[in-house]
Structure 1
């Protein structure tokens, strides 16, 4: 059986990446959500919980046995070394599960929904194509404030931790414009790109 085409889909917080991933699933892609895999391994009983407990202490495990996300988020934003330690636990687990799903995929195309694709060579190496969902940082801020109820400063702190818009665009084989776009227009752009996905770069 031929290997599936591996499309790495990325975009900053609030870019609309999850919406595009859902559209690609409707078109027949197998979609693997790295964030969902990360959440699964940090849920109660997840493979990352005991390593996190050993590395950070029991205060970072919530009473229900899952990662205390709010406490950990505050720590990793303040301490880059803590962020690196956490990623060293979670990322290998997520990569291994992604590799397993690629190997098991029976569709002709698998979309890897990878928020940190541009930041990590390990993620890029798993992709035949890189598609970037793009909008302005101000649009990202406005969307996340409305969706999550976060203050502007908190959204800006998240943006500062992610690859810049210029870095994402430089890594892109294709860009999906989601600035001031209604869903019908976005869906048409996604469909057009999907139909051309196997053409040479």
Structure 2
């Protein structure tokens, strides 16, 4: 029987690298971030509620939401972030669920969800996978990737559930402290285990 596999990680842990590799192996990977962008686009289901709450100040000239302006509001205000999540997450779930059901008839399905445990979506999965790195590696990679100083990197990392906690909650952990080849080898082993 085909299984639903939740794939998660933290910022700069290598989740996207793992996700891309799994796609290359031919498995459907449903990416929550892509569904979030669809649901908040001008013709998306969450758009009217977002504009009603946050106002026209967060719009670009073409009427699309300016993610940077909206981000400036929600990353500095927990209550506003909760409002946005309540508007967007149910729409993301609806879109993902219909694609998940269609894909499950063909194969195992991976759900790429950054906030898998935070939003209780692990309960919809048969297996949960966390791409893990220690915090120091995470800080260094984030500083290098986004040109952040140490305090900016830490602020982003600390706004998420600690990877150590996600690691504890997971069925399986992919340790990404080494090379990409090491990570890919662990993914290959995992895939062969579910195909048995």
The runs of 5 or more residues in structure 1 that have no matched partner are: none
Equivalent residue, structure 2, for 1:195: 192
The equivalent of 2:118 in structure 1 is 119
Distance 2:166 2:150 in 1: 22
| Equivalent position of 1:104 in the other structure | 102
Query: Which structure 2 segments of 5+ residues have no match?
Result: none
Partner of 1:82: 80
Q: CA deviation at 1:100?
A: 0.4
TM-score by length of 1: 0.90
User: Using the alignment, how far apart are the partners of 1:40 and 1:137 within structure 2?
Assistant: 32
Secondary structure of the residue aligned to 1:20 is helix
Q: Distance in 2 between matches of 1:173 and 1:93?
A: 27
What is the aligned length? 195
How many Å separate the matches in 1 of 2:118 and 2:74? Answer: 16
CA distance in 1, matches of 2:154, 2:33: 20
**Alignment map for 1:20-169 (pairs within 5 Å):** 20-105=18-103, 106-121=105-120, 123-169=121-167
Whole-Å separation in 2 of the counterparts to 1:18 and 1:178: 12
CA distance in 1, matches of 2:139, 2:38: 27
| Stretches (4+) displaced over 3 A | none
Q: Which range moves more in the overlay, 143-152 or 97-106?
A: 143-152
- Asked whether the 8 Å contact 1:30–1:107 carries over to 2, the reply is no
Shift of 1:198: 5.7
CA distance in 2, matches of 1:41, 1:63: 19
Contact 1:12–1:159 (8 Å) recurs in 2: yes
Q: Could you list the per-position Cα deviations for residues 138-194 of structure 1 after superposition, in whole angstroms to 9, with x for gaps in the alignment?
A: 212222222222333222222111111221011110000001x22222111110011
Query: Conserved in 2, the CA contact under 8 Å of 1:43 and 1:65?
Result: no
> Cα–Cα, structure 1 residues 82 and 183, in superposed 2: closer, same or farther, change >3 Å?
same
The answer for the alignment partner of 1:186 in structure 2 is 183
**Counterparts of 1:34 and 1:159 in 2: how far apart (Å)?**
19
Aligned with 1:65: secondary structure?
coil
